Structure 1
Amino acid sequence: MRKVIVYSSVHHGNTEKLVKSIAEECQVDLIDAVKQPDADLSSYDTIGFASGIYFSKFHQSILGFAEKNLPDDKGVFLICTYGGSANYKSIEQILGKKHSTAIGKFGCKGYDTFGPFKLVGGIAKGHPDGKDIKNAVEFVKGL
């Protein structure tokens, strides 16, 4: 069964840190949604989307990629890093349009210095940490 994670990691590399560790330990291909916006997902059995949370949404590059490239009727898993809280609604709306189902969700804290958090030196410093990475790897292995 072929798996891929399409990801976007913009500010501090939180999401990239997670997905690269997953790819090292699991047989998972990685696609950077910004660098490969037209990648073909049709040969994958299971597709993951990974992003930081921005204004309660997955990054726009992930949303646009999923809208354009996600084949219908695929099993999809979701991964996010966040300073405030996990929120999957934006990507789940696209999954619904594509007749796809979220087969699993994983989220963890990620270092965040956006907006007012910058004034206090950021929040969730040091995250994702070793425990977060281990839990993300176990999540993907368990799919």
Structure 2
Amino acid sequence: MSKKAIIICASTHHGNTRKLANAIADKYGVEIVDATKTKEKDLSEYDLIGFASGIYAGKLHQAVINFAKNNLSKNKDVFYIITSAMGKDQYKSIETAIEGKNANVVGTFACKGYNTFGPFKLVGGTAKGHPDTDDINNALRFYEGLIGA
């Protein structure tokens, strides 16, 4: 049985996270919602819900956090995809947003993303060229593992 999936995404700096979400959507027909434009959506019909964002001041984009807090149904399988200059796992902000929803986090994916924010612009940015083809392929393998493809 295939799972009905959706990715709630905010990718406002260089489109790093959107590249990963688009690759998954293109290959698997996953719906993408831009959390910076859509504030409400009934998520009850989805079996698998992804929250995808770049990292802004150490947390996921506020639009994704608000979307999760306001729209996530109880007892859902969720996953996280993030891109950041450091490529670190920085999920605390989204985990706090879904407290009390009894969500089952089935996976997390993080990779580097090109960053020219603040002082990094002066040196031409960090993680230039990321996400690259390897990052995108790793994101696809991550998603395949979630759906058992």
TM-score after normalising by structure 1: 0.96
| RMSD value, Cα | 0.9
Aligned pairs (5 A) from 1:45-84: 45-84=47-86
Q: Which residue is equivalent to 2:93?
A: 90
Give 4+ residue runs of structure 1 displaced > 4 Å after superposition.
Answer: none
Total equivalences in the alignment? 143
Give structure 1 stretches of 5+ with no counterpart.
none
Please, which of 31, 34, 40 is the counterpart of residue 32 of structure 1? 34
Q: Which residue is equivalent to 2:46?
A: 44
Whole-angstrom CA distance in 2 between matches of 1:136 and 1:28: 14
Q: Which residue is equivalent to 2:132?
A: 129
- Specify the SS of the correspondent of 1:128: coil
Aligned pairs (5 A) from 1:98-113: 98-113=101-116
Residue 86 of structure 1: how far off its partner (Å): 2.7
Whole-angstrom CA distance in 2 between matches of 1:30 and 1:111: 21
Give structure 2 stretches of 5+ with no counterpart.
none
- Specify the SS of the correspondent of 2:8: strand
Deviation per CA, 1:55-87: give whole Å up to 9, x if none. Answer: 110000000000100011111000000002330
* Aligned partners of 1:82 and 1:108 also within 8 Å: yes
Residue 19 of structure 1: how far off its partner (Å): 0.4
